[in-house]
Amino acid sequence: MERRPNATGESSFSTFPYYDVLYITSVCDGAGDLLYLQKTLLHRALGVLFAQKNNVVVHDIDKQRVQRINNNESTIFDEEIEAFLSEKQLSLTATDDKAKAYKDANFIIIATPTSFDEDSHAFDTSVVDAVIEDALMANHDALVVIKSTIPVGHTEYLQKKYSTDRIIFSPEFLREGSALKDNLFPTRIIIGGDSEQSKEFANLLIAGSEIKNISPMFMTSGEAEAVKLFSNTFLAMRIAFFNEMDSFAMANNLQTKDIIEGVRLDPRIGEGYDNPSFGYGGYCLPKDTKQLLANYKTIPQNLIEAIISSNQSRKDFLAERILGHNINIIGFYRLVMKTKSDNYRSSSIIDIMQRLKNKGKEIIVYEPLLEDQIDFQGFRVFADLDEFKKTAELIVTNRMSQELVGVESKLFTRDIFGEN
């Protein structure tokens, strides 16, 4: 495949050629249903990153999203992505034509979602696997880069199945609401492969970032897959630890804030992921911790399982504390787990709502993302915030907001520091 210079006739990164990059964000399952989840939305930041210096094609089956991308409109809430699309000269287009998208790519980046199958106790990788098969058949030269989170050992399985080294795994470490920023200023670049194409892909990531002196780490695909799962499980462990600390303080009438501030003064512990919450949630942590546990199938462990159990215990504990207020109409302000997020998938808040509903409580919801909906999973939805605040006898929120000023007397939250 031809490698082309940029518009100035030379590479803006001295050792970095111009590439065609295909970026896959969503596909259909066997029933033709859209499999488009928040994680794939987060990965769209990578397409914007690459489009600064490369020709990027985004393949998406949703025609409305294709049109929005081609109109330089962001499909997710991310201030940096919105700014780049409106202010930068990007070579970024979108199409729903799979054959056209695959044809000339030097790199095919797969960011389709994987979910954890509770019955098989493993990630459902069927969508990723189907896309890889299509990609290898349609393009005989491109490097296929898996960004979707997969079980440890899955890339090696695919390499052996198709007798190729053109499949690698490269994890992403992004936060909702700041996905592009995290790509512009990466903490690390992990590449699960050491071929020349793998090294070219690493250079592509460096060229798009603002940190030019970062050194990529090259390792086996299995090691890269493990880095992803262990990183997210460690974050889940830290969240669970400080949540259990908060539960202890609540049960013993102690000030959580003072305890946390005293603990994190130890430089070995430090700050971060220590603001109590209703439990870890979102698209990544719940499923990644379960997948890591599944990978321990024949290996002795206690801690990984305890992290998952701790998250459930936290939700049980808080549901009981809310029930202790002896009120009937409980309002939940926002379903999203954090500010600057438009994702409420696998939200711990919803789990607590269901626990309270099972105890006979009336649950009402204020969530602007639900727009014109009047019902969400059997819960009544309010579009008017003032009406919601008047109707609710107790307002539960995972994170504080200026919109709740004036109703502090009937708030229940564990947001100690006013941060995510």
DSSP 132-155: HHHHHHH-SSPEEEE-S---TTHH
pTM for this entry: 0.87
pLDDT at 203 (0 to 100): 93
**Ramachandran class of 371: left when φ > 0, alpha when ψ lies in -120 to 50, beta otherwise:** left
pLDDT at 37 (0 to 100): 25
Q: 74: which residues sit within 8 A by CB, 6+ positions away?
A: 68, 81, 82, 85
pLDDT at 32 (0 to 100): 28
pLDDT at 9 (0 to 100): 34
pLDDT at 41 (0 to 100): 43
Question: In CATH, what is the architecture of 256-412?
Answer: 3-Layer(aba) Sandwich (3.40)
pLDDT at 340 (0 to 100): 67
Q: In the structure encoding, which two tokens stand for residue 22, read together?
A: 């295909």
CATH topology identical between 20-219 and 256-412: yes
> Residues 27-55, buried b or exposed e (16+ Cβ, 10 A)?
beeeeeeebbbbbbbbbbbbbbbbbbbbb
Q: At what angle do helices 303-323 and 285-295 cross, to 10 degrees?
A: 140
Sequence spans of domains, the chain: 20-219, 256-412
Burial class (CB in 10 A: 0-12, 13-18, 19+), 369: middle
**Which residue, chain included where needed, has tokens 């007798």?**
163
Burial class (CB in 10 A: 0-12, 13-18, 19+), 160: exposed
The catalytic residues are 284
Q: Quick one: which of 236, 283, 363 has its CA closest to 35?
A: 283
Q: 8: which residues sit within 8 A by CB, 6+ positions away?
A: none
CATH number for the domain whose boundaries are 20-219: 3.40.50.720
pLDDT at 23 (0 to 100): 52
pLDDT at 43 (0 to 100): 47
Cα distance between residue 259 and residue 261, in whole Å: 6
User: Parallel, antiparallel, or unpaired: how do β-strands 27-28 and 34-35 relate?
Assistant: antiparallel
Low-confidence ranges of the chain (pLDDT < 70): 1-44, 77, 340, 342
